[in-house]
Amino acid sequence: MLRYLTAGESHGQALVVIVEGLPAGMVVTAKDISDELARRRLGYGRGPRQKFEEDEIVLLSGIRHGRTLGSPVAIEIKNSEWFRSDVWHEEMSPAPGKTKKPLTQPRPGHADLTGMQKYGFDDARDVLERASARETAARVAAGALAKVFLAQVGVSVMSHVLQLGSARNENAARPQPEDLPKIDESSVRCFDSTAEAKMIAEIEAAAKDGDSLGGIVEVLAYGLPVGLGSYVHWDRKIDGLLAQAIMSIQAVKGVEIGDAFETAARRGSLAHDAITWDSKVNSYKRETSLAGGTEGGMTTGEMLVVRAAMKPLSTLNRPTLKTVDMVTKQETVSFKERTDVTAVPAMGVVAETMVALVLAQEAQRKFGGDSVAEFKQNVQNFAQRLR
């Protein structure tokens, strides 16, 4: 089973991720990982941190001479912030001590208050350092490996921003894998230039007001095999696994597979993807993709469509959110932290990552293989059987 574990605080020394269960013989370079990390740093509306954060990586184990060994891959991602400023050495020191500046005005919508209550802390920093979306850098490093694994059998995962604030891409055209470089060139990772301009204007207006914005991204996976996930038990359904993975992303409050919410209003006669036979490739096809590429908790082999809705960030550059000071119990506004206006474009890259990790886990569960060659052979045998 492919599994992974992240560790690290936002302003600590580094993030770490360990990925266990990758097959041996997979060609991986540090560039595969750093390119994905660079994509996550992009996006109009990000705060000052991303201007100097470099996501410098160290491949600690599991890769030798550019190939996976089948042993756990451990990756360290240094936090540039730690190395830039002595403040964080003291503030995040593991040595016994106490902060001089406890944060006691919790931000509504953030993990601050409930995290402090749950773990018995009196400084919100004890919570926010780990709750921070900085942690997603470690996930993206793991996801880069999952993407390389999926690419062995022709599967690719991409994303684009559908909505930012109230600005929505109304163009129905769906991007294809070859459109990804164009999407990444857009500062809001939008596939439509009219919508892109509206999104940028909305970010500028929110920035002027010291406010923040949420939005919706769409993740698409192409080239999938039939039958990842299963209908036989609730915790093996691919829809459920994808939903959990997407909902685990910081600030994501909603998930949709295919046209789920629109389909809820359709009649059954108009709500399902007709099955046809393509004799050219000896394969079944679906005429539409209303279901988003899954039926009965399994991938159908069609394009997978997963959407993620992100709430506006709860840290605001002009703090206006009402809260209570936990020492005085007096009404106040939440403490100010440096922040982004929006992180929706970056969240798209994280959502790709989470989808890629689920698909890689399920592909490995179905096809197995200790080496990449064995995995590929197993996928080919199954495809042959279907034909």
User: In the complex, which residues of this chain contact ligand EPS (CB under 6 A)?
Assistant: 10, 47, 49-50, 53, 132-134, 137, 250, 315, 337-340
Task: In whole angstroms, give the CA distance from residue 36 to residue 14.
Answer: 17
Q: Please state the φ and ψ torsions of residue 336, each to the nearest 5 degrees.
A: -95, 130
Q: Give the tokens for residue 263.
A: 């389909």
What residues pair up with 27 in beta bridges, in sequence order? 67
Residue 222 CB, shortest distance to ligand EPS, in Å, is 27
CB atoms within 10 A of CB 371: 14
Q: Compute, in degrees rounded to 10, the torsion defined by CA atoms 264, 265, 267, 270.
A: -80
- Residue 279, Cα to own-chain centre: how many angstroms? 37
Residue 338 CB, shortest distance to ligand EPS, in Å, is 4
Q: Give the tokens for residue 375.
A: 């995995």
What residues pair up with 5 in beta bridges, in sequence order? 18
306 close to 359: Cβ distance less than 8 angstroms: no
Q: For ligand EPS, give the closer residue by CB, 80 or 289.
A: 80
Q: For ligand EPS, give the closer residue by CB, 69 or 321.
A: 321
Residue 41 CB, shortest distance to ligand EPS, in Å, is 7
Residue 226 CB, shortest distance to ligand EPS, in Å, is 36
CB atoms within 10 A of CB 21: 16
Residue 258 CB, shortest distance to ligand EPS, in Å, is 29
Residue 52 CB, shortest distance to ligand EPS, in Å, is 10
**Could you give the angle at the alpha carbon of 221 between the alpha carbons of 272 and 302, nearest 5°?**
35
Residue 343 CB, shortest distance to ligand EPS, in Å, is 7
- Residue 344, Cα to own-chain centre: how many angstroms? 10
Q: For ligand EPS, give the closer residue by CB, 50 or 230.
A: 50
Single out the residue of 284, 165, 136, 293 nearest to residue 222, CA to CA.
293
Q: For ligand EPS, give the closer residue by CB, 53 or 218.
A: 53
Q: For ligand EPS, give the closer residue by CB, 14 or 304.
A: 14
Q: For ligand EPS, give the closer residue by CB, 10 or 156.
A: 10
The residue written with tokens 């685990």 in the block is 248
Residue 331 CB, shortest distance to ligand EPS, in Å, is 23
238: left (phi over 0), alpha (psi -120 to 50) or beta: alpha
Q: For ligand EPS, give the closer residue by CB, 352 or 362.
A: 352
Q: For ligand EPS, give the closer residue by CB, 11 or 307.
A: 11
Task: In whole angstroms, give the CA distance from residue 192 to residue 173.
Answer: 9
